[in-house]
Amino acid sequence: MINILANDGISNSGVEALKNSGFNIITTNVAQEQLESYINKENISVILVRSATTIRKDLIDKCPCLKIIGRGGVGMDNIDVDYARSKNIHVINTPAASSGSVAELVFAHLYSGVRFLHESNRAMPLEGDTNFKKLKKSYSKGVELRGKTIGIIGFGRIGRETAKIALGVGMNVIAHDKFLESANIKLEFIGNKSIDFNIKISKFEDLLKKSDFISLHVPAQKDYVIGKNEFSKMKDGVGIINAARGGVINESELVSALESGKVSFAGLDTFENEPKPEIQLLMNSKISLTPHIGAATNEAQDRIGIELAEQISYLLN
């Protein structure tokens, strides 16, 4: 029987789909430093990971029994993909399964920012019964998203799902993507109704200058996408969201931009130093914070599990 280790967990629907295909699925979480020993001892043919476990060259070399490495999600920067494939190991992921979940989290952060929810949720338990009127005054200058412009950097699956929500809210959408000139997206509604939109791809500098809010949807980068120079070109009071990857925004420059008022608020789901984000980010009242949960919805994890199971069954049967 083929043994599959889902080291960072997998949904029940994924487990059932793999069992139904005749595989033995193990959901034990093995510590990174013990992976090599465990994989070889248990004769693991397939390892499934999310963002917590890394699969690097040395592990690949020491585990000749591996046939498939699966990533439950989009980015595969925690896997030495090219090297694994050079060793005839299949590397698979689920790029479409969690797109909608990440996009919804972007808007959770946006609404939190424009209505000060991240601040009021901290203050109300402490002062709600003693300073209610003062807090009401403090958080009474919110703004609406409707009619504002959102700039989306990176217009792949998640960027497009973000654009769909923005269009539904009534926002103007501009996008930048190095690999596209234009993009068509279909906004679907209940009752089999839909509207098609053509989104023109803007120059990077134009997006920085024109956007009221900016959301990043790019893979891990060697250099910052947003740094001091980019912040200087943005509108005063811009809001910025990063639910993509840590390291695409220069975090120290972000803090400076928040302190100066250039950026009115930020929403961060990913950080340069995971799992220990910088304390200056965690303590900043202008930042809405989540612990890298973009894809962490029940629906997305069900889709991820089933999609991985289908790909594994196809490759091994």
Catalytic positions, please?
A: 245, 274, 292
**Residue 145 contacts residue 122 (beta carbons within 8 Å):** no
> Burial of 160 by CB count in 10 Å (0-12 exposed, 13-18 middle, 19+ buried)?
buried
Task: Identify the helix (H) or strand (E) that includes residue 307.
Answer: helix 298-316
Distance in angstroms (rounded) separating the CA atoms of residues 190 and 316: 38
Distance in angstroms (rounded) separating the CA atoms of residues 127 and 145: 28
Amino acid at 308: L
**Residue 244 contacts residue 105 (beta carbons within 8 Å):** no
**Residue 213 contacts residue 149 (beta carbons within 8 Å):** yes
Distance in angstroms (rounded) separating the CA atoms of residues 153 and 122: 30
Q: What is the DSSP string of 136-186?
A: HHHT-----STT-EEEEE--SHHHHHHHHHHHHHT-EEEEE-TT-SEEEEE
Phi-psi sector, 44: left (phi>0), alpha (psi -120 to 50), beta: beta
Q: What is the DSSP string of 264-281?
A: EEEEES--SSTTS--HHH
**Which residues does residue 190 pair with via DSSP β-bridges, in sequence order?**
none
Distance in angstroms (rounded) separating the CA atoms of residues 40 and 63: 6
DSSP, collapsed to helix, strand or coil, labels residue 54 as coil
